[in-house]
Structure 1
Amino acid sequence: MWADLARHTNRLVPDASVAAVADALDYLCLAQLYLRDNPLLTRPLAPADIKPRPAGHWGVCPPVNRMLAALGPLQAAVPDGYELHVLHGAGHAGPSALAHAYLTGRLGNAHPGLSQSEAGLRELVSGFPRANIGGEITPMIPGHLHTGGQLGPALAIGQGTVLDAPHRLSVVLIGDGECETGTTAASWLATRALHGTGDHGTVLPVVLLNGLRMGGQSVLSMLSRSELTAYFTGLGHRPVYSDGLDIAQLRQALAKTLDAAQPLGIPGPSSVLVVTLDKGHGAPAPLAGTPAVHKTPLRDPAGVPAEFDALAVWLTSYQPDQLLTSSGRPRPHLLPALPLSRTKPDRIAASRGCVAASTQVAVHAAGRPFAKVVSEVLRTRAERGAFRVFSPDELASNRLDLTDEYGRPAPWAVEVLSEELCHAWAQGYTETGRHALVATYEAFAPITLSLIQQQLKHRSVRRHAGLAPLPSLVYLLTSLGWHNTLTHQNPSLTTALLAGGDPTLHVLTPADPARTAAALAFALRKLDRCTIVVADKHSTVHQPLETLDEELRHGIAIWPHLTHPGPGDPDLILASAGDLPAEALTTLARRLRTERPGLRLRYIHVHDLTALAEDGPHPLALAPDAFAHHFGTRAPILLATIGNPADIHALLGPRHPGSRLTVLGYRDPGRPVSQEHLRQLCGLDDPGLWQLATALTDTPKEIPA
């Protein structure tokens, strides 16, 4: 379908229109980098028209602009029911994205001050890099699913966007420097892991082989044409080449590439378009082909006469008055090659009754093992459709049985031994409105930290832009360090994410398998969150569920079955966060009630760590009176967490109870030790907890006179 559409538009839309769009994009990029006035050169260029400190990146713009121009007629002709997305993997293409959104009118729809008008054009050019939008690709520029600034995941994110979406084509523009990253390198081969996993759309990778990365020649450009062909063929992709100079040939190459492109998950080779236009094409001759074209090739044209002359020649060579009208609109001959501005509804219905539904999940799961109840939650969610589980070859190890009655993997559960790919696939899936879960070992999850942080930034900008919420990013961390070897002990993902302070972050530490099932059911129904569920696959102790509703709603609850009734502060407050801490502290609480019946206890379970955060951006953070209600004002507090003790201290911030609080949690032993020894080192063994509780509650004896 896509190849036929490309051939049809090649016949229908003149090459001259596409070439004019490419020139207009190049000119607008250059103008954004250098000009502060006189955007259409309606009078001779003067030094006062030039920004004193040009900023931005030119190098990637020309090849990106030619691809955007070549794709324009195809985007304009996409029939109802089909979608074409362009993902920018190549770094620093912000000027191109802004220029393209301006020409199509989408930028003005989102930001009226940048509409197609004389004032809008002047503002576009003079205001770059824009403080309120930025100079890179973000959701502030309409139509972008992936924020630029991090090289590597774009191809995998593009793959995620087309899973279960046979109506969708995602074109991913990949810089040749980006091809040096491990995530991109893995993405080519990883499509084999998607064979037989459903009916998917098509990804068209476009490698912008411009020869240079920021500091010098790219590795990919060191290959001869035959070596390059062998490389891509070995990866399962038939390369189609274009130098990008001849627009007609580029459009023909695009159609040829689409003709050979296979929907994702179909066995056999697919295709890749390789565009070899040199980096920074069009830059003045002395600088062309050098790393200087990466940013602004001419560093000070306002102050250096030779650079001023070179810039004047460069700008006028595009004949901007032939591309744009005096009112800032594209001239009529560009319009056939420009996609119309379309407003697409992106509202996703929020789930109702999340707490009630999740509570019912827990009631059904009560007393049953982790492996049964968690797998059941995921199967039930998959039956509702538009859901996928991604795991780095650890489902069985994490006791998640998602196979059918014949032992075959469920098509909606995909395993590939790359945490980065699992995250990127889930990111592409959720950014296009579907729910996903990443399930992995706790120790290996930090590999994806940077990707998660980038997606959180992307989501934050989406909210700032007023875009509708999307399904949450959900991680299940199990195979915890408490039952693993030294190399498999690392709870630092939650530590790093909590330090970022993102208000949508929730770190759930359920007390037992039933609560873990409820936590997952809850997280997979919510929108616009990042939820990390930390649960031990070995957990077998079950707690009463009478406070589960409160735990789900508020992230924290006092457990009445272990708490002495009545007003006033107790003698000791025990607080658990996680299943292993809950097992240890409930054992301690029962012993204290038996052997020290006069000791007044209060038991708290922290289901969501962000409930402990200082009163501020976190929605579940306890208000001061609620914090005092739970943690009192004078009693010693013994809190055990499943992660790093530093997480608790950092969350509490200025309202830290001071010396009243003792936090126990994971401590790196520095050498391989047994599980029992690890608990002893961390103070979570039964004798150690008893000794600590006794020390905290014993009344000091008076020294005789």
Structure 2
Amino acid sequence: MPKGLGGPKSFHGELIEGSFHSHQVPLPGTKTSRPEELFTAEGVPVAEILGLVPQAAEKRLGQKWESFRAYAPLAVPEWTSFCVEQGTQESCMKAVGRLLKGVVKDPKGFHIFSPGGLVSDKLDAVLDDSWRNFQRDIEWRARGGREIEILSEHTCQGMLQGYTLTGRTGLFPSYEAFLGIVQTMMVQYSKFTKMAAENPWREPCGSLNYFETSTWARQEHNCFSHQNPAFISAVLNRKAMLVRVYLPPDARSFLSAMSHYLRANNYVNLMVGSKQPTPVSLSLEDADKHCNAGASVWKFESVDDGVKSDVVLVGIGVEVTFEIAVAALLRKHVPELRVRVVNVTDLMILSTSGTQLHALSVEVTVHAVYFVWFEWYQPKK
């Protein structure tokens, strides 16, 4: 289809239709389009044009309920059913894969759009009860699979947006390095989310859910080519009210956070994880409380429950949390040093107070979480 099809053929001797000129600034005059034949003196489309609009409101594109109030919350199974024992080691991705295996049993409301493959992401437990929805593959096609797998990130993004905007819930898992391919598309969608929230007639729709299944810190055989943490920066640069960014510290926290994540609406969600086995540090109750709060002091890693600390170690994400296990060495070799260990799962609680529903106040963030407790803190005069 030529660019500018249906517009003026030329203007002042310059070719318009079918040339790059049709994608430039608007033409200064519109008389060649004969607007008097299309609009009344009051600017209303003439009857001939209005006659093309369906008389039944429900048949008009802008009035179809699927486009603005079709959202149905996803049925997510109880996450505690998929946990491993505290004190063991488990891949966060494998734990989430078991949860998603339960989610895909919903025959209509959930789909995974994957450019890289669930086996590589270690989410392949999903395929125990579902199929890949390949249309050209004789073995897989027409089986109603809950995963669409195509090595084209922008295609996955487009399908995810359409699926989400028509009332369902989707998930886009990918390696960290390749979500940057759809970065601009994510930004544009977040602008839509902002404007949609300002229109009272538009009801909620599901969140756009991204899932980084690897990070720069653990690339094993892929190394430098797969290291690019730019996508998280792009998400964090959006308005705080529009996004959520989760970096749970262990498999149990991942399950708790994912259970909430898939039920949230009107956000751009990003969860960052790791495929390799790491320690399961928290009990079921502590994991749930930790994820609901977004951050907490890990008293079991701290000296005297973290009160009156000399040094604070803060872990965000699986790998960094694993590294601050050095606290155990400090307690052993420097017992007089008062260590507090803090973990942050929901990055948006660190937003400026008032810009995000879940943001901590400055007092809580500075005094209670990072430095010292209220009852001990005395500001310098």
What TM-score results when the alignment is normalised by the length of structure 1? 0.44
Tell me: CA distance 1:422–1:293, structure 2 relative to 1, closer, same or farther (3 Å): closer
Q: Does 1:419 align with 2:153?
A: yes
Distance 1:497 1:333 in 2: 46
Note the C-alpha offset of 1:298.
Answer: 4.7
Paired position in structure 1 for 2:52:
337
Paired position in structure 1 for 2:115:
392
Q: Does 1:577 align with 2:304?
A: no
2:343 alignment partner, one of 605, 629, 636: 605
Instruction: State the AA in 1 paired with 2:155.
Output: L
Note the C-alpha offset of 1:394.
Answer: 2.8
1:481 alignment partner, one of 199, 216, 224: 216
Structure exhibiting the larger radius of gyration computed from Cα positions: 1
Tell me: CA distance 1:528–1:288, structure 2 relative to 1, closer, same or farther (3 Å): same
Note the C-alpha offset of 1:554.
Answer: 2.7
Listed one character per residue, the Cα deviations across residues 376-417 of structure 1 (whole Å, up to 9, x for unaligned) are 111211112311111113311111114655995371111111
Distance 1:520 1:292 in 2: 48
Instruction: State the AA in 1 paired with 2:268.
Output: C
Q: Does 1:469 align with 2:196?
A: no
- For residues 111-510 of structure 1, the aligned pairs below 5 Å read 209-211=1-3, 277=5, 280-281=7-8, 286-289=13-16, 291-295=20-24, 298-299=27-28, 314=32, 317-320=34-37, 323-325=38-40, 328-340=43-55, 341-342=57-58, 343-345=63-65, 346-347=68-69, 360-362=78-80, 364-367=82-85, 368-384=90-106, 385-402=108-125, 404=127, 409=132, 411-466=145-200, 467-484=202-219, 485-510=223-248
Contact 1:390 1:426 in 2 (8 A): yes
Distance 1:296 1:447 in 2: 28
Q: Does 1:517 align with 2:255?
A: yes
Note the C-alpha offset of 1:326.
Answer: 5.0
Distance 2:280 2:306 in 1: 28
- For residues 630-649 of structure 1, the aligned pairs below 5 Å read 630-632=369-371
Structure 1 vs Structure 2: percent identity of aligned residues?
Answer: 25
Paired position in structure 2 for 1:61:
none
Note the C-alpha offset of 1:438.
Answer: 0.5
Paired position in structure 2 for 1:98:
none
Listed one character per residue, the Cα deviations across residues 182-229 of structure 1 (whole Å, up to 9, x for unaligned) are xxxxxxxxxxxxxxxxxxxxxxxxxxx2256xxxxxxxxxxxxxxxxx
Contact 1:388 1:413 in 2 (8 A): yes
Distance 2:80 2:339 in 1: 26
Note the C-alpha offset of 1:318.
Answer: 4.3
CA RMSD for the aligned pairs? Answer: 3.0
- Number of paired residues? 342
Tell me: CA distance 1:408–1:296, structure 2 relative to 1, closer, same or farther (3 Å): closer
Structure 2 residue ranges without an equivalent (≥5): 134-144, 374-381
Structure 1 residue ranges without an equivalent (≥5): 1-208, 213-276, 302-310, 635-705
Secondary structure of 1:337's aligned partner: coil
Tell me: CA distance 1:597–1:318, structure 2 relative to 1, closer, same or farther (3 Å): closer
Instruction: State the AA in 2 paired with 1:528.
Output: N
Distance 2:281 2:306 in 1: 24
Note the C-alpha offset of 1:285.
Answer: 6.5
Higher relative contact order (CA 8 A, sep 6+): 2
1:542 alignment partner, one of 263, 277, 280: 280
Greater helix share, structure number: 1
